[in-house]
Structure 1
C-alpha cells in the first residue's frame, strides 16, 4: 500500500517494448539499476511499468538492444498536475479533500468487538458509548489501558480484555470466564454438597469419583432424591464409625426417563407471489442523522437491505454508513400444506425440538410420534426416551456430635468413683 502511494506521487508510465532483442534490453536495465515491474509478454512485445525518472535514462539501452518503446498510459500526480494545471478549483477541492480526510483520521468511527459470547456486542458498545468512547470520539481522549480496566471492573465475567486503535477503528478483544470454571469455583467454595436427581426416572448408570453412593443402577428415583452424599464415614481398624468427613460429591449419574411432547404448526402456509415490480432506495446514516433517497415506506413490498461501511484501506473507516435497499412487490396467498409438506415440516419441528434438548445436555436415545390434523392446526405428538445427567446440588446435612463423646466417639462423661 505504501509503495503504491509513493509510485503515484512520483509518477510512472505503462509502456510497450518492441524490437530486435528485448532480453538484452532487460539485462542492460538490470545492470544500470533500473527497476521494471508488472512485466507481461504479448504478441508484439512486452508491457511493463517504469518510473518517470528511469524512463529518461533508457535511450542508451534502447540503442544497444535495437528496441523501441511506446508510452501507452501515464499514471501519477505529476501528470494529473500537468493535465489540470488550468483547473485551479479542482486543485483547491483536492487539497480540501486531504484536509477533511486528515481531520477525520483523528476520530474513532468504528468499534470492532471479538471474543464475546455472554455479553453481546451491542451491550459492550452501549456501555463504552455511555463512558464517552465510541463513534465520533477523539483518539487523543481514549486511554486504552484505562478502558481495559474499566471493562473488567464493570463486567465481572470478563477475565481478559485488549483495547487498541488502528486508523479510525477501535479494536476490542475480550475473553470471558467459562461456565464450567465458574461452576467449579462455586463448588470449591462450598464445604460438603449432595448430588440430587433433576428428574424422576430410572438410574441408567452411575460412576462415583468422590462421595458416598446412595443408589444403584436400575433404581427408580423421584425428582430431588439424593443420589450421592457428600458425607464420608471414617472407620477404625475394627470397622466402627469414628467420625465423618465432608466433601463436594463428584459423580456422573444418568437417569433414563420418557417425556411426552406435542408440537403444533398451522394448516396453511403463507406464499409470497412476486409481481415483477422492483424499487431501489439508498440511505446515508451519519451519527443519529439519516438521509434517504427513493426510500419510501410502502406496503406490499419485500425489502432486502445491504449495509455498507465505506473505508479507505483496512482500518480507515469513514463516518458514514450506507444502506442499500431493494424492494420487490408481492401478493400474499394462503395455501394448505400437502401431505408430503406436512410430514417434512413435522420432522423439521421435531428435529429442532430435539436439538434444543441436546443443547441443555439431555441425551435422546429414542423417539416415537405421529402427526394429527384438526380443523384449526396440525400437530406432531409422541414421546422421547431421554437420558438426563444429574446436576442439582444441595448442602450436605452435617452430623452433630453427641454430648459426652470425644472426637472419635469415646465416652468422656464423669462416671464417678467409689471410695
Structure 2
C-alpha cells in the first residue's frame, strides 16, 4: 500500500468532480478505457474520484459520452510541487548544494580524540598523527592503519601500541603506553663515594664499601669518604660503595636587584585578530597589517560543540597585548622586599634537600643595586658516587700482575 501511494505521489494525481449526466455510465467507460479511479464517492448528482494526473485528459471523451462535466478540485504529487517552485531556482540550487556539502562533510573527519595516554602528552600524539595524515578535515577511509601504527610507534617510543578507529566523523586514536623497565643499579660495578662540598661529618652509615672518615671529621670537597676497595684475608676486594653521609655545611647565596632598570612592560593596549576556523583552514576576519610592536599573544577558541564534542568549526581570537620599554625606579625598601622574595625562591630551589639549622641574611646597596646575601648552616648528605676505575691491562711480556721480572 505504501509503495502504491509513493508511486502516485511521484507521478502526481488529481481529485476531480463530475456533475450531471450518468455517473454509472462514466464509471463503466473509464473501466473499459483502463483508466484507474479510486476513492469514488457520489453525493446527490455529484461524483468525486481520484485519478493519475497524466490520465485526466483521457477522461474527457468518456465524460462527454456520459453527459457529465468534469473539473479538477485538488492537485497532489511531485510534478505539481516542482512546478510550483520552479520560479525559485535559487532555493532548489541551495538545497542541492546543501546535500552535496553534507555528503562531502560526512566523509571527512571532524574530531580527533586521543585515548589511553597518561604520561605522553596529547599534543605530542596529535602532532605525530598530523604528520602521518590523520588530521581534521581529512578523508581517512583509505588510510593504511598497519603502516600508520608502525610509523607512530617509531616516532613515539614511549608507546607500546597505537591504532586509529573511525566512528562516524570521529577518529579515535587508541594508544597504550610502554611500561618502563626499572633501572637496576649494578651492584657489581665498583665505586667510591667522595665529598660533594666542604663540611664536618655528623653521621655516616656505610652499607657497602670501606668507610674512610668518621663522625666529627672535617672534610673538603673531593675528599674520599667511602672506598670501594675492601681489604680481606684473600686480598683486596672491589665493591660498589653505598652509604648515607650527613655533614654540617655552610652555604652562601646572593641576589641582586637594580634600583633603576629598563623593563618591557604591557602598555594596557590590546589588538584583537579574529579568524574563522574551518577544519585546518583559518580565514582572517580582519584587514589590519602585521603588528610591529613587542607583544604577548593570548589565543582563545570558541568552537561549535555537539554532544559535548568540540567540532573544528568556530572563531579563534588572538589578542596581542602591546608592550613597551619602561624605566623602573625602585626605592631601597622596594628593592629589599623584591630581593627577599627572590632569595627565598633561590633557597627553596637550591637547598630543597638540605635541613637548614640557622640562617643569617644581610643587605647592602652597591653599584646601583640592592644586594641581599644569605649564609645558611645546613645538614645534608654530601656523598657523591664516583666510578672506581680498575686497570686490568696485562703486562706486555705476558707476566701476571705482581710477578717480579725474571
Could you tell me which residue of structure 1 aligns to residue 208 of structure 2? 210
Could you tell me which residue of structure 2 aligns to residue 64 of structure 1? none
* Cα contact 1:256–1:388 (8 A) shared by 2: no
Q: Does 1:371 align with 2:363?
A: yes
- Say which of 237, 240, 254 aligns to 1:248: 240
- Say which of 290, 297, 303 aligns to 1:297: 290
Q: Secondary structure, in 3 states, of the residue corresponding to 1:202?
A: strand
Could you tell me which residue of structure 1 aligns to residue 334 of structure 2? 341
Q: Secondary structure, in 3 states, of the residue corresponding to 2:284?
A: strand
Could you tell me which residue of structure 1 aligns to residue 196 of structure 2? 198
What pairs up with 1:182-193 in 2 under 5 angstroms? 182=183, 185=184, 187-188=185-186, 190-193=188-191
In the alignment, structure 1 segments of 5+ residues that lack a partner are 1-84, 235-240, 401-419
Bigger radius of gyration among the two: 2
What pairs up with 1:158-169 in 2 under 5 angstroms? 158=158, 160=160, 165=165, 167-169=170-172
Could you tell me which residue of structure 2 aligns to residue 225 of structure 1? 223
Could you tell me which residue of structure 2 aligns to residue 104 of structure 1? 108
Q: What's the RMSD between the two structures over aligned residues?
A: 4.5
Shift of 1:227: 2.0
Shift of 1:282: 0.9
* Aligned positions, number: 299
Counterpart-to-counterpart distance in 1, 2:314 and 2:239: 58
Q: Cα 1:315–1:368, aligned 2, differ >3 Å: closer, same or farther?
A: same
Counterpart-to-counterpart distance in 1, 2:116 and 2:289: 33
Shift of 1:249: 2.0
Counterpart-to-counterpart distance in 2, 1:265 and 1:104: 57
Moved more, 121-130 or 303-312: 121-130
* Cα contact 1:168–1:317 (8 A) shared by 2: no
Q: Does 1:306 align with 2:308?
A: no
Shift of 1:352: 2.0
**Structure 2-normalised TM-score?**
0.57
In the alignment, structure 2 segments of 5+ residues that lack a partner are 1-84, 394-406
* Cα contact 2:255–2:373 (8 A) shared by 1: yes
What pairs up with 1:16-415 in 2 under 5 angstroms? 87-89=91-93, 91-105=95-109, 109=112, 114-116=117-119, 136=138, 138=140, 141=143, 143=145, 147=149, 158=158, 160=160, 165=165, 167-170=170-173, 172=175, 174=177, 177=180, 181-182=182-183, 185=184, 187-188=185-186, 190-234=188-232, 241-268=233-260, 270=263, 278-284=270-276, 290-294=282-286, 296-298=289-291, 303-308=296-301, 310=303, 312-313=305-306, 318-319=311-312, 322-327=315-320, 333-358=326-351, 361-386=353-378, 387-395=380-388, 397=390
